[in-house]
Chain A
Amino acid sequence: MMPRSFFTVLPLVFAAACGENGNHGDTPKDAPAPQIDAGAPDASCFTDPHTYNEIINACTTAVKVYKDSHPPLLNADGSLPPLP
């Protein structure tokens, strides 16, 4: 249940597990593509997952791939438009 967060400087591919830097429970938003010398988005992970959201965002040693995605047709509030 307890989220942990980490900060990383790797662009695109994050190969490390969650770190130990403080607690951040908020869901991170998409952000501009991380730069090699800039701080990446603060992404939380969960050490003791129970709910669906916690399970899919649990801390892991697996490779994590960050993708800065802004589909042009996405509604302003982030919702999906109906299919054609």
Chain B
Amino acid sequence: MRSLAFLIALAITFPHRAHAATCDTLPNPVYLQVGDTQLNLMKRLGRALRDNTPKPITLVFLTSGSCSNIAAIYTPVVIKAATSLQYVPSVAEDATWTPSSATLTCTLAGDVVPDIANSVLFNSACTSSPPPATVNLTQGPAQGYVMAVPTASSQTAITFEEAYFVFGFGAAGMIAPWIDEAQMYIRTITKGTLLAWAANITVPAAKWKGVMLDASQSVVTGVATGPTSAIGILGAEVYDANRATMKALAYRAKGQYFAYYPDSSSSSRDKKNIRDGHYTVWSPTIWMDSVDGTGAPVKPDARYVIDLIAGKTVTPPQNFGMIDIIAAVGLVPDCAMNVNRSFEGGPLSLYRPAESCTCKFESLVDTSSCATCTTSCTTGVCRNGFCEDH
């Protein structure tokens, strides 16, 4: 069983090598260095952009830790020639490709600085240095983080205090059943998933107990095939793609009366508790690109991609629904958030996005009670086919 799950994980994780073209021969390549929790977003958005007739773009990407990604564009650090990068095919190239299919690979012909770098948490959690004047930061969708256990586990929740002892003390913390450090699957200290949890449970990244793993998929495999004492940390969208093999724990933050799931229940996918502040472990994703001395983007196609991810209007308009893609991968668009924060693990405050998309988002992940519309509404604003309240 364990070996079968491992083989499945390998098949999903590693891209096909059959298409080893040089990356610069792909149509309008934009090079990205992103957190591995963003793989599903890269796949779905990559597919849509390949076939975005008004402006076709190929997302050519590699995954790495958020702190490494920040350094890659701040310093900058080149991606070396001959590196194998991932991309997805257009419909014309492979009509049968789906987001559950493996990515394709291309080989980098020469060194490149990534056009876009991504951090899955506040950059200040990685570095105290402000961004250089040559780098523009854009806040993208919110990403939740979960603690996951095997489906056979009887546990349903973990508290702030328990998490502090489990990951700060290990076995010595005496929080049963999580007392086997070989079954505590965590990430390395440059990874956003670890840093986000570290800020929320006040255990510095360097002090975490457990097995440090480089890839989210390795955490999935460890938890899914582990004993009931296993526990791991994951991005919520990685968990969402692997719900059949594990379950997320509800989390009770410090000072909170109850524990909550990221979603309104263990089986829903509405991210309601992230959106309204009951589930506190989430971060904004940060998308970075280079700008010139006037603040204009060095590569307009890169800014086009970032603006799409951030929910901004782009020119020319894309031929696909961006909120649909964000919702499908388990992220929350900023326009559907009702709380925000200003630093990693910081206190939440009420938030009112400039143009709400809550009705649209809920229609995609749950059911929406909002009125539908085509041009106008009796109350509210007609947007994306729904009467949003503002």
- Chain A interface residues toward B at CB < 8 A: 12-15, 27-28, 43-45, 49-50, 52-53, 55-58, 60-67, 69, 71-74, 80, 83-84
- Output the residue of B159, B253, B258, B259 with the most chain A CB within 10 A: B258
Distance, CA A61 to CA B260, complexed state (A): 11
Find chain B residues with CB under 8 A from A74 CB: 161
- Give B160-181 as 1s and 0s: 1 = Cβ < 8 Å from A's Cβ atoms: 0110110011001111000000
Contact in complex: B253, A71 (CB < 8 Å): no
- Indicate if B318 sits at the interface (CB-CB under 8 A): no
Q: Name the residue of chain A whose CB is nearest to the CB of B261.
A: A63
Distance, CA A74 to CA B253, complexed state (A): 16
Contact in complex: B259, A55 (CB < 8 Å): no
Find chain B residues with CB under 8 A from A67 CB: 156-159, 252, 259
Q: How far is the CB of A43 from chain B (nearest CB, A)?
A: 5
Find chain B residues with CB under 8 A from A62 CB: 260-261, 263-265, 272-273, 278
Find chain B residues with CB under 8 A from A15 CB: 265
Contact in complex: B173, A69 (CB < 8 Å): no
From A13, A57, A73, A84, B256 is in contact (CB under 8 Å) with A57
Find chain A residues with CB under 8 A from B214 CB: none
Known contacts A27-B255, A65-B259: A56-B173 contact under CB 8 Å? no
From B161, B168, B258, A14 is in contact (CB under 8 Å) with B258
- Chain B interface residues toward A at CB < 8 A: 156-159, 161-162, 164-165, 168-169, 172-175, 202-204, 207, 250, 252-253, 255-261, 263-266, 272-273, 276-278, 280, 339, 347-350
Find chain A residues with CB under 8 A from B156 CB: 12-13, 65, 67
Find chain B residues with CB under 8 A from A27 CB: 255, 257
Contact in complex: B255, A56 (CB < 8 Å): yes
Q: How far is the CB of B367 from chain A (nearest CB, A)?
A: 13
Contact in complex: B255, A69 (CB < 8 Å): no
Contact in complex: A65, B278 (CB < 8 Å): no
Distance, CA A57 to CA B257, complexed state (A): 6
A-B contact pairs, 27 of them (CB 8 A): A27-B255, A43-B258, A45-B257, A55-B276, A55-B339, A56-B253, A56-B256, A58-B276, A60-B264, A60-B276, A63-B250, A63-B260, A63-B265, A63-B266, A64-B260, A65-B250, A65-B252, A65-B259, A67-B156, A67-B157, A67-B158, A67-B159, A69-B162, A73-B172, A80-B161, A83-B207, A84-B168
Question: Given contacts A49-B350, A64-B257, could you give 7 more A-B pairs where the C-beta distance is less than 8 Å?
Answer: A12-B156, A55-B339, A58-B277, A66-B259, A67-B159, A69-B252, A71-B174
Find chain B residues with CB under 8 A from A64 CB: 257-260
Distance, CA A57 to CA B255, complexed state (A): 9
Contact in complex: B162, A71 (CB < 8 Å): yes
Distance, CA A58 to CA B278, complexed state (A): 8
Closest 10 CB pairs of A and B: A64-B258, A52-B347, A55-B277, A62-B264, A65-B250, A65-B259, A65-B157, A63-B265, A67-B157, A43-B257
Contact in complex: A50, B161 (CB < 8 Å): no
Contact in complex: A52, B348 (CB < 8 Å): yes
Contact in complex: B264, A63 (CB < 8 Å): yes
Distance, CA A52 to CA B280, complexed state (A): 10
Q: Name the residue of chain A whose CB is nearest to the CB of B169.
A: A84
Distance, CA A66 to CA B260, complexed state (A): 9
Contact in complex: A28, B257 (CB < 8 Å): yes
Q: Name the residue of chain A whose CB is nearest to the CB of B167.
A: A83
Distance, CA A55 to CA B165, complexed state (A): 25
Q: Name the residue of chain A whose CB is nearest to the CB of B341.
A: A52
Contact in complex: B258, A66 (CB < 8 Å): yes
Q: Name the residue of chain B whose CB is nearest to the CB of A44.
A: B257
Distance, CA A12 to CA B259, complexed state (A): 10
Contact in complex: A53, B161 (CB < 8 Å): no
Distance, CA A12 to CA B261, complexed state (A): 14
- Output the residue of A13, A71, A72 with the most chain B CB within 10 A: A71
From B168, B169, B175, B277, A56 is in contact (CB under 8 Å) with B277
Find chain B residues with CB under 8 A from A53 CB: 255
Distance, CA A38 to CA B236, complexed state (A): 35
Contact in complex: A73, B169 (CB < 8 Å): yes
